[in-house]
Each structure stands twice: as C-alpha cells, then as structure tokens.
Amino acid sequence: MKIGHCGYSYHENGYFATHKHGFDSYLLRLQTEGEGEAIVKNKQINLEKGDLLLVAPGDYYQLSIKEGQPSGDFHLIVQGDWVDQWWKRSKKPGTVRIELDDKIISIWRYLAAEKRRPISDKNDEIMENLTRSLFLLIERAIEDRASYARPFVVTKMMRYIEENATTGFTVNDVASFVELSVSRSVHLFKQYLDKTIMEYAQEIRLTAAIDQMKYTMMTLEHIAENCGFGAYPYFHRVFKKAYGVSPGVYRRGD
C-alpha cells in the first residue's frame, strides 16, 4: 500500500484545482466544514458538511471553493492491491453523505499525523492498518446509507445506542439525536427491528457483560455497573431471563 498524501485542509480565501487525467491513485475527500463544488467524470457535485467524495484512478477531477466561504476537509490519496480489492468488492458511489463519526475523524487525523512524521520515524505498518480501518469504517457508513432494509434514521438510532448503551442514555436522548419526536422514534425503531430501543440496548449490554465475565476478573457487581445495568439485582434478573441461568452460574460454567 502506498499513501501519497493524507491531511486536513482549511481554505478561507478560495481554492481551485483541476486534474484532467485524474490521479494514479484513489482519492477520498470528506467535507467537514463549509461548502465546496467538485466535478468528477463530468458530473457536478455540490459539497456540504458530511459529504464524502470517492474518486477512482484516472477520473477527471476538479475542486473549487468560493472566495469568502471557508471550507475544511480531510483527504487521502492512496494506492495498492488491498485498496483495489476494497473498491471492486462493492459498488462505490461518487459521493455519499455520511455522519461525521468520531471514529472516522479520529483515525483520519491520526493517519495524517503519522504521515507527517520524519521518514526515519514513520511506521508503515501503523499507517497501513490505520488506512484499512478507515476504509472499512467508511464502507460501513456507505452501507448504512444504502441499506434498503430500513430507513437511515433507524440505522442512525442503532449506532447511537451501540455507542452509549453501557454508559447510559434515555429514549429522549435517542430521539434528540435523530431530531424526531419520542413517539416517532419509538415507532420507527420497533417497526423495523421488531424490538424496542431499550431491548436493543439490553442486548448490547449483555454481550459486553459476557465478554467481561469471560476475560476479566471483575466482580459481577462491578460488571453490572460497568455495562450499564446499575445495581447487580437488576443485572441478575435481566441475565437470567435472557440465558436461563444466573450470571454466577454462567461464569463458573456449571
């Protein structure tokens, strides 16, 4: 894998660039602030916050930022067999609106910092694995948007719950995150997943609890609190209902 360039750009005074014959690598560009305009393969694309551009090698590419309209973006130019395989295994849109996920932004920022290191201090293995992680997270974000099984707003609720299940949240928090009423959020979630928001959260908490019972020496009381159940008696009740045995029996393997 060869990473040609990776970084963050912020334009305050406008910007214009044309690549008539494209790049010899893949280009990924994520608009994080402001607006811009791109042309890819003769198709004009208006870029807003959260828009991800995916440009294949050789594709005509033009980017313009208007004077007086500040714009920020992360970008990555990369080539290699693994990237070729990633690109070909599913249809990639020219542009897609994704959530500005903290994981994607953090990995992109870390990769950019690693790329800036002096040659003597760079770690190619770290950069390659960060790049793969970034591409896989982007692939999930694209699939979430393209899913025909459920509206994207439901997927967005799922991702919020997955992130916050063990730290605590309310149904109001979920509804606020997707900018819907509580009743509408509850209805949509139940309609497409056939379970309630809190039932989905409990599944995630139980999975986390089982992992901690298997791979840590924490007490069951600590695990109950750490996984979002609060007091142990409640954890005991929920666990036994789901698995037919108490957490202690499950942990001992009786």
pLDDT in tens, 162-194: 989 998 899 999 999 999 999 999 999 999 999
Is there a contact between 243 and 216 (Cβ–Cβ < 8 Å)?
no
Asked whether the predicted pLDDT for residue 254 surpasses 70, the reply is no
Tell me if the pTM is above 0.75: no
Give 222's DSSP letter. H
- Domains (range + CATH), the chain: 2-146 (2.60.120.280), 148-254 (1.10.10.60)
Asked whether the predicted pLDDT for residue 142 surpasses 80, the reply is yes
Residues above pLDDT 90, as percent of the chain = 63
Give 195's DSSP letter. S
For residue 46, what are the β-bridge partners? 37
Among the ranges given (6-10, 96-100, 158-162, 164-168), the one the predictor scored with the smallest mean pLDDT: 96-100
Distance CA 47, CA 34 (A): 8
pLDDT score for 148 = 67
> Which alpha helices (DSSP H) does 147-246 contain, by range?
152-164, 171-178, 182-193, 197-215, 220-226, 232-243
pLDDT score for 83 = 95
Distance of CA 186 to the CA centre of its chain: 23
For residue 17, what are the β-bridge partners? 63
Q: Work out the mean pLDDT of the chain and round it to a whole number.
A: 90
